[in-house]
A = this chain, B = another copy of it.
Amino acid sequence: MRIGFTGSGIDRADRHRLDESRIAELASSLSARLLRLAALDPELDETGRLAWGSLAEIEDEADLIFLGLAGETPLFAPLRRIEGGQRAWAIFGILGSMAPEDAALWGAARSLIEWHNRHNFCGRCGHSTEVFRAGWGRRCTNCGLDHFPRVDPVVIMIAEHQGRVLLGRQPQYPAGRYSALAGFVEPGESIEEAVARELHEEAGIRVSNVRYVASQPWPFPGQLMIACVAEADSDALIIDRTELDDAKWVDREGVRAALAGEPGAPFLAPPPFAIAHSLLAWWAGEGA
């Protein structure tokens, strides 16, 4: 199964992160490369691949994130300050044409940069934090608490009932778009419990036999998408209109038509880099 934002193929080389002299050595290597970003979005070269520059392009080594090793090549990203308005979603126009390994590598960098910008201060004591672990952590300058990059687990799921799956549309979706329902996993619940709770909250259905299908990191800003399928007891819906514009049941033929982009399809499918697309392709028997 093809899953977006996975398969960077690099060695994250966690073993070097706490070794400041080793990181400095890697950063001063002639082969070291720095990810080129326009605000948070990737710069692409003339072949459509990620553009990389030299480490000389950065002002302060303290602002480097060590992404890992591509073979022998050390890869870094700049730890940018994010200003308002830099999250302009032009990226969604080019993601479909990016090489999968490039999207994965850039996605990791984007998630880390977002995380740093939301953790300049210590949640426990309110004092400023500073980067450590080669960009994979922040430490409080006052109380010494270590902070590690946050990843939010999200369940994204289709419920099945008599050969049809439940899809919903959120208010901000493009016209015609329907996708799998989704929600954040809360403290004190398993993946399976979160799937059942979300489907009941948003669509009023009860489900059983929740099964895991696949997972994906989602860099907007840093979710772990956990794709599941469940069996609905009934197809009677009670839609939570504060969460969803609409929800409906679609059969395999309709899902296949949507994934193929056919004009008469019952909905506009989510893009191929979203795990909802992979999940629907798996269910429709095209991606399993």
* A contact residues vs B (CB 8 Å cutoff): 3, 5-6, 8, 12, 14-15, 104-105, 107-109, 111-112, 115, 117-128, 136, 145, 147-153, 184-193, 197, 201, 212, 214-217, 219, 222, 224, 226, 240
Chain B residues positioned under 8 Å from A14 (CB to CB): 197, 201
Cβ contacts under 8 Å, A122 to chain B: 121, 123
Q: List 9 A-B contacts (CB under 8 A).
A: A6-B189, A6-B193, A122-B123, A123-B123, A151-B153, A187-B217, A189-B217, A191-B215, A191-B226
A126: contacting residue among B112, B127, B185, B217, CB under 8 A:
B127
Shortest A115–chain B CB gap in Å is 7
Q: A121-B122, A123-B123, A126-B126 given as contacts; is B188 within 8 A of A217 (CB)?
A: yes
A136 to B117, CA, bound (A): 23
Q: Are B190 and A3 in contact (CB under 8 A)?
A: yes
Q: Are A187 and B111 in contact (CB under 8 A)?
A: yes
Query: Are A121 and B125 CB-contacts (below 8 A) given A188-B104, A215-B192, A222-B187?
Result: yes
Chain B residues near A201 (CB-CB < 8 A): 14-15
Q: Contacts of A153 on B, CB cut-off 8 Å?
A: 151, 153, 224
Kindly list chain B residues whose C-beta atoms are within 8 Å of the C-beta of A149: 186-187
A122 CA to B121 CA in the complex, in Å?
7
A14-B201, A111-B187, A190-B216 are known contacts; what are 6 more A-B pairs with Cβ within 8 Å? A6-B190, A14-B197, A108-B188, A126-B126, A151-B186, A187-B217
CA A103 – CA B100 in complex, angstroms?
42
Write the nearest CB–CB distance from A199 to chain B, whole angstroms. Answer: 13
CA distance A191 to B6 in the complex (A): 10
Residues of B near A108 (CB, < 8 A) are: 186-189
Question: Which of chain B's residues have a CB closer than 8 A to the CB of A190?
Answer: 3, 5-6, 214-217, 224
CB contacts (< 8 Å) of A105 on chain B: these are 188
